[in-house]
């Protein structure tokens, strides 16, 4: 990117988002299963298979991200640590005009409202470009009368980080249902008439997912303040959206988003590195 005079801005995940607690539990379980499988393969001499599962068992920590941030500082590459989800932060940077395009592998940038995304970029800089303004001319699925709200609902129905999809509901079914029924009450009324088993908390979880895509907290690098991706509407208060991430004092959030404080503990990374280093040291053994 720098060779072609493109100024990159790297965005890191911050603290864990309350809306994503279920997904985080599932990912933790998968990492644990992969670790067990890797150790099993290692005992029978299958190093290649073990290596594959060890990779899937890795959990990227803020300390690992900080190691990369230190290198970015040396090279003069701009970065931002999101208060919570990097996806929402990336979308904000694109919508506010701070960046021209988002490069990612995560399709959540679509419901978050990013106007321009480059997916699956290879080492030659080529990829699949998505532009929100061109959605209405898509030929496979008709989005000509879709509103932003409808697009978010379709994405949630197909399954996202904040809510699993209903059984048998894929992209085409979700598109058809949202196109015909538009709002959540009508969508739920439709599904209740089908044979699909709907969890008791599905509708409320759906509303939380919608609010998260609209109002998650992000960091404005210009004002150096934490704000909502979109302002809260009339009648909705901060107490109504705790799942979008708790508020943090301005001094702390500046330290977090500028890569000086651990986004979870809010402690300086120097102290965290010392503590974690000693916690990983093996017990001392005295040999005569």
- At residue 60, φ and ψ (nearest 5 deg) are -75, 120
E-assigned strands of the chain?
Answer: 9-12, 78-81, 102-104, 116-119, 128-131, 217-220, 225-228
* Residues with Cβ within 8 Å of residue 169, at least 6 apart in sequence: 157, 158, 159, 177, 196
* CATH domain 1-133+221-288 topology: Rossmann fold (3.40.50)
Specify the CATH number of the domain 138-215: 1.10.150.20
Query: What is the pLDDT at residue 23?
Result: 56
pLDDT at 158: 94
pLDDT of residue 286: 43
Half-sphere exposure at residue 219, Cβ-oriented, CA atoms within 13 angstroms: 28
CA distance 1 to 5: 6
Q: Looking at residue 4, what DSSP letter applies? A: T
Q: Is the dihedral of CA 16, 21, 24, 25 positive or negative?
A: positive
Angle between helices 171-181 and 148-157 (to 10 degrees): 140
pLDDT for the residue 29: 75
Q: Facing residues of 217 across strands?
A: 228
Which tokens in the block code for residue 257?
Answer: 């988003």
Is the CB of residue 103 less than 8 Å from the CB of residue 127?
A: yes
Question: Which stretches in the chain have pLDDT values below 70?
Answer: 19, 21-28, 271-288
Predicted confidence at residue 278, as pLDDT, reads 43
Any idea what the Cα angle at residue 270 is, between residues 265 and 273, rounded to 5°?
A: 75
Residues 6+ apart with CB under 8 A from 197: 167
Task: Calculate Rg over the CA atoms of the chain.
Answer: 22
DSSP 3-state assignment of 226?
strand
CA 38 vs. chain centroid, Å, equals 27
Write down the domain spans for the chain: 1-133+221-288, 138-215
CA distances from 75 to 79, 93, 151 (A): 11, 22, 39
Q: Residues 81, 259: contact at Cβ < 8 Å?
A: yes
């Amino acid at each position: 990117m720098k060779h072609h005079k493109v100024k990159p801005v790297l965005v890191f995940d911050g603290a864990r988002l309350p809306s994503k607690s279920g997904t985080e539990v599932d990912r933790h379980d998968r990492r644990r299963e992969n670790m067990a499988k890797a150790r099993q393969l290692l005992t029978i001499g299958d190093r290649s298979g073990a290596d594959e599962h060890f990779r899937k068992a890795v959990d990227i920590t803020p300390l690992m991200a900080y190691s990369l941030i230190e290198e970015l500082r040396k090279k003069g590459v701009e970065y931002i640590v999101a208060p919570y989800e990097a996806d929402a932060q990336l979308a904000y940077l694109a919508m506010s005009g701070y960046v021209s395009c988002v490069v990612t592998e995560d399709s959540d940038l679509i419901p978050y409202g990013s106007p321009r995304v480059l997916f699956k970029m290879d080492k030659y800089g080529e990829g699949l470009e998505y532009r929100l303004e061109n959605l209405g001319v898509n030929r496979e699925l008709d989005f000509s009368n879709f509103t932003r709200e409808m697009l978010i609902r379709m994405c949630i129905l197909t399954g996202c980080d904040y809510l699993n999809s209903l059984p048998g509901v894929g992209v085409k079914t979700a598109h058809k249902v949202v196109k015909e029924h538009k709002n959540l009450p009508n969508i739920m009324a439709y599904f209740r008439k089908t044979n699909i088993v709907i969890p008791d908390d599905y509708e409320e979880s759906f509303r939380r997912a919608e609010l998260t895509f609209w109002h998650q907290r992000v960091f404005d690098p210009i004002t150096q303040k934490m704000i909502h991706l979109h302002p809260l509407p009339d009648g909705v208060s901060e107490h109504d959206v705790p799942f979008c991430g708790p508020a943090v004092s301005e001094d702390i959030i500046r330290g977090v988003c500028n890569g000086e404080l651990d986004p979870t503990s809010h402690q300086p990374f120097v102290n965290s590195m010392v503590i974690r280093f000693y916690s990983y040291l093996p017990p001392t053994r005295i040999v005569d």
